[in-house]
A and B are shown apart, each in its own frame.
Chain A
Amino acid sequence: MDYMRFEAPSSVDAAVALLAEGGGGARVLAGGTDLLVQLRSGMVEPSLVVDIKRLPEVREIAAEDGGFRVGAAVSGAELGEHAELKALWPGVVESAELIGSTQIQGRASMGGNLCNASPAADTVPALIAARATCTVAGPRGRREVAVEDICTGPGRTSLAPGEFVVSFHLPARPAHSGDAYLRFIPRTEMDIAVVGVGVSLTLDLQGACTQAEVSLGAVAPTALRVREAAEALVGTRLDDAAMEALARAAAAACRPIDDKRGTVAFRTRVAGVLAQRAARIAADRARSN
């Protein structure tokens, strides 16, 4: 194996310069819970690893425009301990807290979860449903990108050489809004989603849904933003007919693989059921704020 270089820059510009110089042989290290496993197994043999955790903005949670700016390497445990963030976007926080054990929670981050680009990543459907964006830094400066535009396939992203995700923006939201993330796994925890669903919605004072977003994970090469499923909810009081339309639209969007963890038929069916359950939880949260 060729030698691997390790760098822990203290500025975003320095990180970008290192990553650009390293090209295809460079890897970004956030929490390391995917990268170190890949290193160990020989799946990746980078010539350069850039630890971004010395960059303050990558490690912070800060209020911004009525929402929150969350650093790409903030750990799941830190997200879960942030009461205000959890109150505004409980579904996003629960999607992060579902990942792995206590030990993994001490390190695993949303930036890593997104850029590892697993179709089953838990935070990605929750972030897409939240209409989250991320700030990407690169050789040409910074750009703000919708989370749904980052992953292009299993293990692949739209990030150009030298680019990395610095932070996420979770927007402000109207009163009577709520979000939720649910996944199906065959165990109680410590597993990878067979299906994941993020739902975010807003209700009016009469309880009618005025805005909705639905995103599915683990049922296609990337997490999906399912507009038809959201449209099934908007304008309704989330009655049985709306819930059935939601399940049908969610199922119709599925293009899953068939593997030992779940068949195509199973994943498709479960996507509809979980979408309904997540919508009910999101609605309950919306009514209570």
Chain B
Amino acid sequence: MAKLHITTTINGDATEFLCEPEQTLLDVLRDELQLTGSKEGCASGDCGACSVMLDGRLVCACLVLGAEAAGRTVETIEGVARGEELHLVQRKFLEHHALQCGVCTPGFIVAAKALLERDTDPSETEVRYWLAGNLCRCTGYDKIVRAVLDAAAEMRGEEAGA
């Protein structure tokens, strides 16, 4: 069967790709478009390593068919930094040592950025619940939560907090 020809927008760029009907958006990003920042952890929507924004909503790319992206806008981890300039959330992850192996990190960054775009003053509990769909098996989460809270504080114009 012929592949599907999909036209979409990825990280602000008009993008076309060919995919099989059963290929997920994650498969397309990684295997067809070489955007390998989004990771496959569980392939069942539990771990959040493939978190992307689809029409402004945080979703797991493993639970979206590539064909569904037609006419939509997709934002991935590759679109978070501006060239060499890291996004605030990325910088805070480095400052707080909020990663060890790094496989979960792109998903956490995309998810945390989505939270801070909605709310620049989340409580620690709100951060933990928002990120409950992102699993990290290295850090124990604490440094990740500190990094996100510190990024929020900086967005609000406050001094870097505890």
Tell me, in angstroms, the Cα distance from A174 to B21 when the chains sit together: 48
Q: Are A6 and B133 in contact (CB under 8 A)?
A: no
User: Lowest 5 A-B CB distances belong to which pairs?
Assistant: A101-B133, A6-B21, A106-B57, A3-B1, A106-B59
A185-226 to B contact mask, C-beta < 8 Å, 1/0: 000011000000000000000000000000000000000000
For residue A57, CB closer than 8 A to chain B, the reply is no
Q: Are A29 and B45 in contact (CB under 8 A)?
A: no
Which residues in chain A, 1-46, are within 8 Å of chain B measured between CB atoms?
Answer: 1, 3-6, 8, 29, 31-33, 36-37, 39-41
Q: Are B67 and A8 in contact (CB under 8 A)?
A: yes
Give chain B residues whose Cβ lies under 8 Å from the Cβ of A94: none
Closest chain B residue to A75, Cβ basis: B57
Closest chain B residue to A37, Cβ basis: B44
Tell me, in angstroms, the Cα distance from A106 to B114 when the chains sit together: 12
With an 8 Å Cβ cutoff, the count of chain B residues facing the other chain is 32
Beyond A29-B65, A36-B64, A102-B130, list 18 extra A-B contacts (CB 8 Å).
A3-B21, A4-B21, A32-B63, A32-B68, A36-B63, A37-B44, A37-B45, A53-B68, A101-B133, A102-B58, A102-B132, A103-B133, A104-B45, A104-B133, A106-B59, A107-B59, A189-B129, A189-B132
Contact partner, A33, options B63, B111, B114, B134, Cβ 8 Å: B63
For residue A51, CB closer than 8 A to chain B, the reply is yes
Q: Are B48 and A103 in contact (CB under 8 A)?
A: yes
Closest chain A residue to B129, Cβ basis: A189
B42-57 to A contact mask, C-beta < 8 Å, 1/0: 0111101001001001
Tell me, in angstroms, the Cα distance from A107 to B68 when the chains sit together: 12
Give chain A residues whose Cβ lies under 8 Å from the Cβ of B24: 36, 40
Interchain Cβ contacts under 8 Å between A and B, 28 examples: A3-B1, A4-B22, A5-B21, A6-B21, A6-B22, A32-B64, A36-B63, A36-B65, A40-B24, A49-B21, A53-B68, A77-B57, A101-B133, A101-B134, A102-B114, A102-B115, A102-B132, A103-B45, A103-B58, A103-B133, A104-B63, A104-B133, A106-B54, A106-B58, A107-B57, A107-B64, A190-B132, A190-B133
CB of A255 to closest CB in B, whole Å: 29
For residue A171, CB closer than 8 A to chain B, the reply is no
Q: Are B22 and A107 in contact (CB under 8 A)?
A: no
Q: Are B65 and A32 in contact (CB under 8 A)?
A: yes
Closest chain B residue to A190, Cβ basis: B132
For residue A235, CB closer than 8 A to chain B, the reply is no
For residue B70, CB closer than 8 A to chain A, the reply is yes
For residue A161, CB closer than 8 A to chain B, the reply is no
CB of B124 to closest CB in A, whole Å: 14
Give chain B residues whose Cβ lies under 8 Å from the Cβ of A103: 45, 48, 51, 58-60, 63, 111, 133
Give chain A residues whose Cβ lies under 8 Å from the Cβ of B129: 189
For residue B103, CB closer than 8 A to chain A, the reply is no
Which residues in chain B, 106-134, are within 8 Å of chain A measured between CB atoms?
Answer: 111, 114-115, 129-134
Q: Are B132 and A37 in contact (CB under 8 A)?
A: no
CB of B71 to closest CB in A, whole Å: 9
CB of B157 to closest CB in A, whole Å: 26
Give chain A residues whose Cβ lies under 8 Å from the Cβ of B64: 32, 36, 107
Give chain A residues whose Cβ lies under 8 Å from the Cβ of B62: 36, 40
Tell me, in angstroms, the Cα distance from A198 to B48 when the chains sit together: 30
B78-118 to A contact mask, C-beta < 8 Å, 1/0: 00000000000000000000000000000000010011000
Contact partner, B65, options A1, A49, A104, Cβ 8 Å: A49
Q: Are B63 and A37 in contact (CB under 8 A)?
A: yes
Tell me, in angstroms, the Cα distance from A73 to B85 when the chains sit together: 38
Tell me, in angstroms, the Cα distance from A101 to B47 when the chains sit together: 10
For residue B138, CB closer than 8 A to chain A, the reply is no
For residue A100, CB closer than 8 A to chain B, the reply is yes
A234-258 to B contact mask, C-beta < 8 Å, 1/0: 0000000000000000000000000
Q: Are B21 and A107 in contact (CB under 8 A)?
A: no
Closest chain A residue to B21, Cβ basis: A6
For residue B4, CB closer than 8 A to chain A, the reply is yes
CB of A94 to closest CB in B, whole Å: 14
Contact partner, B133, options A1, A37, A40, A100, Cβ 8 Å: A100
